[in-house]
Amino acid sequence: MKTSIPGLFLDSGLNGLSRFQIRTAAAQGQLFLHGAHLAAWQPAGHQPVLWLSGSSWFQSGRPIRGGVPICFPWFGPHPQDPALPAHGSARLQEWQLQQTQADDDGTLRLVLQTVVGNFQLRYEICPGAELSLQLDCQLSPDATEPEKFEAALHTYLQVSDIRSIWITGLENSGYLNKVPQPEWCAASEQPIQFTAETDRVYQGTADTVVLHDPGLLRRIEISKQGSLSTVVWNPWIDKSRRMPDFGDDEWTGMVCIETACVGEHAVVLQPGQSHRMSALIRVLS
């Protein structure tokens, strides 16, 4: 179904989830209101940039596996209550599409909103030749005390083969290595390459990160603001098999590079205060 915005179509969705298809001169994509989840983005003239699992659930109450889930207001398991959903509730909520606009070059500007606890979230997604993502979190002026949150734009990127790519831009940052046991590691001064399950939270990461993928003849650049954490994740063989919504062999084709504010870089807001975290993703040949 056409919307009033050229290039944005509401389709019949999946299992009752509202889904928009994006088809402009600048890019193609898919957006679910469930989790404000951008599930696909392919700038014109390029291969798809975001990865989406063929085994993903598309169901209310469950996160979508791939694209850009939003982790908020906590990252990973809830610190006190493991029964609460991993990575917070924002990716499980139905968001409202508040504003849509089409720029002359075919870039769409889509603004979604929701409320999580005392936080008002505004998320602006601009899929075009580049992909800009901007998450604003405001603590309600009616809140009675400061509150802390963690957030991540949990970006799944499509790669030719995880074993032949590398990542630069994080060489100077120390990181929490979560596997096999959590331990703090000093900056490696080396690009990241993948030979096993990798689950790392890099801290103090203001710099631009580049994913080098010779197999797809491209680099993907992620620059960001308002984020001092970057999470790098690939589940490798055994964990892929343990995840029901992840194909057993899909680990070779993806990597997550997540723009985040987590752990020591979680954000504390005073009532009425807000924080903006943004990422700009570009394909370089």
Chain residues binding ligand BG6 by CB under 6 A are 63, 76, 86-87, 154, 178, 199, 231, 233, 256, 258
Q: Which of 241, 7, 222, 165 is nearest to 101 (CA)?
A: 7
Rounded to a whole number of angstroms, the minimum distance from the CB of residue 82 to ligand BG6 is 12
Q: Which of 21, 155, 17 is nearest to 94 (CA)?
A: 17
How far does CA 62 lie from the centroid of its chain?
Answer: 16
Residue among 63 and 67 whose Cβ is closer to ligand BG6: 63
Please name every residue paired with 40 in a beta bridge, in sequence order, or none if there are none: 30
Q: What is the DSSP letter of 85?
A: P
Whether 275 is catalytic is no
Q: Minimal CB distance to ligand BG6: which residue?
A: 86
147, 150, 250, 258: the catalytic one is 258
Rounded to a whole number of angstroms, the minimum distance from the CB of residue 227 to ligand BG6 is 14
Residue among 22 and 51 whose Cβ is closer to ligand BG6: 51
Cα–Cα distance, 214 to 218 (Å, whole number): 6
Rounded to a whole number of angstroms, the minimum distance from the CB of residue 65 to ligand BG6 is 7
Q: Which of 128, 155, 178, 138 is nearest to 70 (CA)?
A: 155
Residue among 19 and 200 whose Cβ is closer to ligand BG6: 200
Residue among 194 and 233 whose Cβ is closer to ligand BG6: 233
Cα–Cα distance, 132 to 134 (Å, whole number): 7
Residue among 210 and 231 whose Cβ is closer to ligand BG6: 231
Whether 212 is catalytic is no
Q: Which of 155, 169, 151 is nearest to 260 (CA)?
A: 151
154, 171, 197, 265: the catalytic one is 154
Rounded to a whole number of angstroms, the minimum distance from the CB of residue 55 to ligand BG6 is 12
Rounded to a whole number of angstroms, the minimum distance from the CB of residue 179 to ligand BG6 is 8
Query: What's the 3-state SS for 10-69?
Result: EEEEECCEEEEEEECCCEEEEEECECCEEEEEEECCCCCCECECCCCCCCCCCCCCECEC
Catalytic residues: 154, 258
